[in-house]
Amino acid sequence: MQSSPLAPASVTAEDEQALSRVFSAYTLTGTLWLLFGTAVGLLVAFKFGAPDFWAEKYLTFGRLRPIHTNSVFYGFATLMLIGAAYHVVARSCGTRLYSAKLAWLGLWLFNIAAVAGTVALSLGYNYGDLEYREWPWPIRLIFIAAVAVTGWNLLATMLHRASRDLYLSNWYIGAGVLWGSIIAIVAIIPIYQHGLGMMAISGYYMHNAVGMWFTPLALGLFYYAIPKVLNRPIYSYSLGVLAFWTNLMFYPLLGGHHFLFSPLPWWLQTAAVICSVAMIVPVFAGSANYLLTMRGRYHGRIESYPLAFLFIGVLCYLFGSTQGTLEALRSLQDLWHFTNFTVGHSHLTMYGFVTFAAWGAVYALLPLSTGKNPGRFGMATHFWLALVGMGMYVIALSIGGSVQGWDWIQHAPFIKSVTDMKTYYLWRGIGGMLMFVSHIVFAWNVWRMTFGKSGDAPSPIMEPEAESTP
Partner 1 sequence: MHAMMEGPLWGVIAVASVAGVVAAACFVLMFWFIFKPGEKDPHHPKYEILRRDR
For binding to partner 1 (CB under 8 A), which residues are involved?
Answer: 1, 91-92, 94, 162-163, 165-168, 224, 227-228, 231-239, 242, 246, 249, 260-261, 266-267, 269-271, 274, 277-278, 281, 284-285, 288, 292, 330, 368, 468-470
Distances (CA, A) of 441 to 284, 378, 425, 470: 33, 6, 25, 40
- DSSP per-residue string spanning 304-317: -HHHHHHHHHHHHH
What gap in Å lies between CA 70 and CA 75, rounded to an integer? 7
Shortest Cβ 171–partner 1 spacing (Å): 11
Shortest Cβ 241–partner 1 spacing (Å): 9
CB-nearer residue toward partner 1: 108 or 338: 338
Shortest Cβ 166–partner 1 spacing (Å): 8
CB-nearer residue toward partner 1: 64 or 173: 173
What gap in Å lies between CA 128 and CA 124, rounded to an integer? 10
What gap in Å lies between CA 346 and CA 408, rounded to an integer? 21
CB-nearer residue toward partner 1: 246 or 417: 246
Shortest Cβ 282–partner 1 spacing (Å): 8
CB-nearer residue toward partner 1: 355 or 369: 369
What gap in Å lies between CA 136 and CA 130, rounded to an integer? 11
The overall longest dimension of the chain from CA atoms, in Å, is 70
CB-nearer residue toward partner 1: 236 or 402: 236
Shortest Cβ 129–partner 1 spacing (Å): 22
Shortest Cβ 253–partner 1 spacing (Å): 11
- DSSP per-residue string spanning 210-226: IIIIIHHHHHHHHHHHH
Shortest Cβ 285–partner 1 spacing (Å): 5
CB-nearer residue toward partner 1: 94 or 452: 94
Residues 6 or more apart from 98 whose CB is under 8 A from it? 153, 154, 156, 157, 159, 160
Q: Which helix (H) or strand (E) holds 13?
A: helix 13-49
CB-nearer residue toward partner 1: 60 or 231: 231
Distances (CA, A) of 47 to 2, 41, 125, 299, 436: 60, 10, 21, 42, 16
CB-nearer residue toward partner 1: 419 or 468: 468
Helices (H), 253-375: 266-278, 280-293, 298-303, 305-327, 330-336, 340-347, 356-370
Report whether 327 contacts 333 (CB < 8 A): yes
DSSP state of 128: -
What gap in Å lies between CA 425 and CA 92, rounded to an integer? 44
Shortest Cβ 159–partner 1 spacing (Å): 16
Distances (CA, A) of 413 to 151, 259, 334, 342, 405: 51, 24, 18, 21, 12
CB-nearer residue toward partner 1: 155 or 274: 274
Shortest Cβ 89–partner 1 spacing (Å): 11
